[in-house]
Amino acid sequence: MPISRQVAESLGRASWIRRMSDEARALRAERGAGEVFDFSLGNPDLEPPQAFGEALSRVAADPARGTHGYMPNLGYPEVREAVARRASRDQGLEIPAGLVAMSAGAAGGLNVVLKTILDPGDEVLAFRPYFAEYLFYVQNFGGAFVPVDSSPGFRPDPEALRAALSPRTACLILNSPNNPTGRVYGRESLAAVAEVLEEQGRRTGRMPYLVADEPYREIAYRGVEVPSPMLAYPETIVVSSWSKSLSLPGERIGYVAVSPRCAEPKAIVEGLAFSTRVLGFVNAPALMQRTVAGLLDQRADVASYERRGGRLARGLREAGYEFEEPEGAFYLFVRVPERAAPAPADPRGPDVAFAMHLKERGLIAVPGVGFGCPGYFRLSYCVSEATIEGSLPRFAEALESWRRAG
């Protein structure tokens, strides 16, 4: 075996997002780009705001000595100050700069958090459907990933959460606005989650952390509030990034903020510094730290996601598809339609079967099994309006032919 068994096995089970994106590429080569409508990747397609280019050029031209050198593992003190002020506003409570760690995006931040809090065998919970990478992040540190069923409408289910908790539960990862459902968890949902976690803490003496994965916080639709997990539950660690809000996913810049209401916030932050160092991040990229620090009130034209999502949702609804109304992020999580007459069960599962049915029509979606939820498929609408318009008649036809074929 030239490589680690775990890595080799994981490679054998390539992610569904990746697989469908590869299918799209193959199909484009076969039929031409105009015949393929690719909703597979959650890849922000907006340009950064104009202020970003200006800030970047300014920082790039800064002749000060040492601007590309090492800084403390947690980041530049002045950048942490600025980010703490912004995070305090988002979270509705005062977060000192000392509780902020700059990270290589949210993915880097989540790995640093999990390395810091997990002992081997510890359990990490997340509601279905979930971002499939969580599973690998947890595996990196010898943890066990435990999916928890959601309520109808893809809200956190407090009873399912209670049943999934154990003395080995280290944390619950809560992702809102949610990938893949587009749901934003409201205050009541957070309160219900907090109540169950607190009860667990009282009973076992181990208060699970709430790890709030918030890279989509800035992409919530008009009128939808993204409430503060830190106000809902004391043992909260927020992970976020500028990948979506400033449309910089390739630059790997984000942060972790530890709630001042945690029982031992300083121990956590010391752990984050250590984990940032020894995982080889060492620090978040210097230039991007200094660039985003001046752009904390800027964002890319994220309203365009709402427009595009609205158009796609309206078209699919008219065609007869069923899904929860999107509230943020840039995904629709759609129910696999019923057949008109009972059909023999497809061995691939209904979601994979339907995704392949869509693919025959040039429509690329990701089966729900990739998020722990067969019976659904995900559409990412970071695509052009032309792609959306062009796809709608095909989606309508796909639904009709699927029903008839039953």
Residue 30 Cβ, how far from its own copies at the closest point, in Å? 21
Q: Measured from the CB atom, is 52 or 221 closer to its own copies?
A: 52
Q: Which residues of 267-286 are buried (b: 16+ CB within 10 A; e: fewer)?
A: ebbebbbebbeeeebebbbb
Q: Check residue 118 for interaction with its own copies (CB under 8 A).
A: yes
Residue 59 Cβ, how far from its own copies at the closest point, in Å? 8
Q: Check residue 182 for interaction with its own copies (CB under 8 A).
A: no
Q: Measured from the CB atom, is 84 or 135 closer to its own copies?
A: 135
Residue 382 Cβ, how far from its own copies at the closest point, in Å? 10
Residue 66 Cβ, how far from its own copies at the closest point, in Å? 8
Burial of 375 (0-12, 13-18, 19+ CB in 10 A): middle
- Segment interacting with its own copies, rule: CB under 8 A, options 30-38, 190-198, 215-223, 264-272: 264-272
On the CB side of 209, CA atoms within 13 Å amount to 27
Residue 13 Cβ, how far from its own copies at the closest point, in Å? 11
Q: Which of residues 30-89 bind its own copies (CB under 8 A)?
A: 43-45, 47-48, 53, 56-57, 60-61, 63, 65-71
**366-367 and 376-380 strand pairing:** antiparallel
Binder of its own copies out of 16, 40, 101, 108 (CB under 8 A): 108
- Segment interacting with its own copies, rule: CB under 8 A, options 7-15, 88-96, 308-316, 340-348: 7-15
Lateral strand order in the sheet of 366-367: 331-335, 376-380, 366-367
Secondary structure E strands in 250-395: 254-258, 331-335, 363-364, 366-367, 376-380
**DSSP secondary structure letters along 109-126:** HHHHHHHHHPPTT-EEEE
Q: Measured from the CB atom, is 209 or 221 closer to its own copies?
A: 209
Q: Check residue 17 for interaction with its own copies (CB under 8 A).
A: no
Strand, helix or coil for residue 147: strand
Q: How far is CA 228 from CA 87, 245, 354, in A?
A: 10, 18, 37
Phi, psi at 185, each rounded to 5°: -80, 125
Residue 24 and residue 38: Cα distance in Å, rounded? 6
Q: Check residue 215 for interaction with its own copies (CB under 8 A).
A: no
Q: Measured from the CB atom, is 115 or 183 closer to its own copies?
A: 115
Q: Which of residues 321-360 bind its own copies (CB under 8 A)?
A: none
Q: Are 42 and 168 in contact (CB under 8 A)?
A: no
Q: Check residue 288 for interaction with its own copies (CB under 8 A).
A: yes
Residue 131 Cβ, how far from its own copies at the closest point, in Å? 12
Among 357, 292, 341, 382, smallest CA distance to 52 is for: 292
- Segment interacting with its own copies, rule: CB under 8 A, options 104-112, 184-192, 373-381, 391-399: 104-112
Q: Check residue 104 for interaction with its own copies (CB under 8 A).
A: yes
Residue 376 Cβ, how far from its own copies at the closest point, in Å? 24
Residue 138 and residue 117: Cα distance in Å, rounded? 11
Q: Which of residues 267-286 bind its own copies (CB under 8 A)?
A: 267-268, 270-271, 274-275, 277-286
Number of residues forming the site for its own copies (CB under 8 A)? 74
